Amino acid sequence: MATDPLVDAVIAVHDPSRPIARAVASLQRSGLAAGTGLRITVVCHNIAVDAIAAQLPDPAAPGLRLMHLEDGIHSAAGPFNAGLAAATAPYVTIMGSDDSHQPGAIAAWLALTGDGRSDAVIAPQMHADGSVVRTPPVRRFHRGDLDPVRDRLAYRTAPLGLLKRETVERLGLRFPEGLPTGEDQAFSARLWFEGRGLRYAAGAPRYVVGADAVTRVSTTPRPLRREFEFVRQLLDDPWFQGLPLAARRALAIKIVRIHVFAATLARIDAGAFDADDRAEAAALLTRMRSAAPGFERPFSLADRRTADALASGAADAEAIGRLARARRRFGHPSTLVTRDPRGLFAVEGPLRFMAASALM
């Protein structure tokens, strides 16, 4: 009688030009036995299974199965949801078809689960060029379970690593389908803020983010209203509204620092920042200030000036662009000092945040 594996790995692929063979091969070097230790599910999304099977050296290899999903939606949410629904192992992991794992990664992560006590083990990441992905900037010398606020878990948007399947089901976690971006934000946020026994796999083999996908992301910035659909969904969610203030602030800080500032500057650099974008950015900042009052306290002067310009709805694109670029001059006094002295040494304050990131 067949037994469930220890880990179910799910890869979503929609294009035969993706390096799917590399992704599968890296999982087969996970340190777990094929089939009994690790089962790999490749979800062929809006593409025939045969087209993907033709890219694999041995599509019938032990522990490897190919599924088909036809939903007509250009989003990884659907295939990831389908793969997770088909999983039966105690732990699951997801992967993009352009990515890979360093040898022995999953076995090393599994060793940190405390024999099933941990709801998630967060994988360390790196880019294909060898540079380290410095998220989440956890407390470097902390030993024990992670705290979602003090360990800044909101900065890890994608739930990469090992996820306890029972917890995914208990929390009803699914990737919302139909969003152009940010479909993993709500999934991860609920896991980080409701999960128990969370661990970061410091020093373990890494998840490697591929660099050779020519169609991974459109080079044309989206209108901000479309870009920020996932933010509005999160703010509308009763779950978010019921979080403690510290948790709401943590999520708001990350969303503004990482998503709002970057998307706005991308539109400005493309010469596409219009009146609708200006109104959208102002409305979003205003709403964020209401939903998570005080979240800007740990912002550097440069961050705060950018946020204020966007919230005013009056600053022109050129002025906002200058401010958004200035906040990237790390080490400049305006990026190190906060307007509110109480934010200077806060967990999210520039000094502690930069130090934690540097130590990753």
CATH code for the domain of 185: 3.90.550.10
Q: What is the pLDDT of residue 171?
A: 97
Query: Could you tell me if residue 315 is inside a domain?
Result: yes
Q: Where are the alpha helices (DSSP H) in 111-257?
A: 165-170, 185-194, 224-227, 229-236, 238-241, 245-254
Query: Could you tell me if residue 216 is inside a domain?
Result: no
Q: Strands, E, within 159-214: which ranges? A: 161-164, 199-200, 207-209
CA dihedral sign of residues 44, 49, 52, 56: positive
Residues 180 and 261 in one domain: no
For residues 156 and 185, give the distance between their C-alpha atoms in angstroms, rounded to a whole number: 9
Q: What is the pLDDT of residue 248?
A: 98
Residues 167 and 297 in one domain: no
Q: What is the pLDDT of residue 360?
A: 85
Q: Which residue has the tokens 């399947």?
A: 165
Residue that finishes a domain, picked among 209, 233, 264 = 209
Domain span holding position 331 = 224-358
Residues 200 and 236 in one domain: no
Beta bridge partners, 12, equal 43, 96
Residues 112 and 248 in one domain: no
Q: Give the H/E segment covering residue 11.
A: strand 7-13
Residues 87 and 46 in one domain: yes
Query: Could you tell me if residue 201 is inside a domain?
Result: yes
Query: Could you tell me if residue 215 is inside a domain?
Result: no
Six token digits for residue 56: 């694999």
Q: What is the pLDDT of residue 180?
A: 85
Residues 195 and 299 in one domain: no
Six token digits for residue 329: 């001059």
Query: Could you tell me if residue 2 is inside a domain?
Result: no
Residues 89 and 119 in one domain: yes
Query: Could you tell me if residue 339 is inside a domain?
Result: yes
Residues 244 and 333 in one domain: yes
For residues 251 and 53, give the distance between their C-alpha atoms in angstroms, rounded to a whole number: 40
Residue that finishes a domain, picked among 162, 186, 209 = 209
Domain tally, the chain: 2
For the stretch 270-275, contacts whose Cβ atoms lie closer than 8 Å and that sit 24 or more positions apart, written own/partner, are: 270/220, 270/221, 272/221, 273/317, 273/320
Burial class of residue 210, CB neighbours in 10 A (0-12, 13-18, 19+):
middle
184 CB contacts (<8 Å, ≥6 apart)?
157, 158, 159, 175
Residues 201 and 267 in one domain: no
Query: Could you tell me if residue 36 is inside a domain?
Result: yes
Residues 185 and 63 in one domain: yes
Q: What is the pLDDT of residue 59?
A: 96
Query: Could you tell me if residue 1 is inside a domain?
Result: no
Residues 180 and 31 in one domain: yes
- pLDDT tens for the chain, 360 residues long, are 468 999 999 999 999 999 999 999 999 999 999 999 999 999 999 999 999 999 999 999 999 999 999 999 988 999 999 999 999 999 999 999 999 999 999 999 999 999 999 999 999 999 999 999 999 999 988 888 999 999 999 999 999 999 999 999 999 999 998 888 888 999 999 999 999 999 999 999 999 999 864 444 444 578 999 999 999 999 999 999 999 999 999 999 999 999 999 999 999 999 999 999 999 999 999 999 999 999 999 999 999 999 999 999 999 999 999 999 999 998 899 999 999 899 999 999 999 999 999 988
For 41, the 3-state DSSP assignment is: strand
Residue that finishes a domain, picked among 186, 209, 232 = 209
Residues 160 and 307 in one domain: no
- Residue 175 CB neighbour total at 10 angstroms: 22
DSSP symbol at 341: G
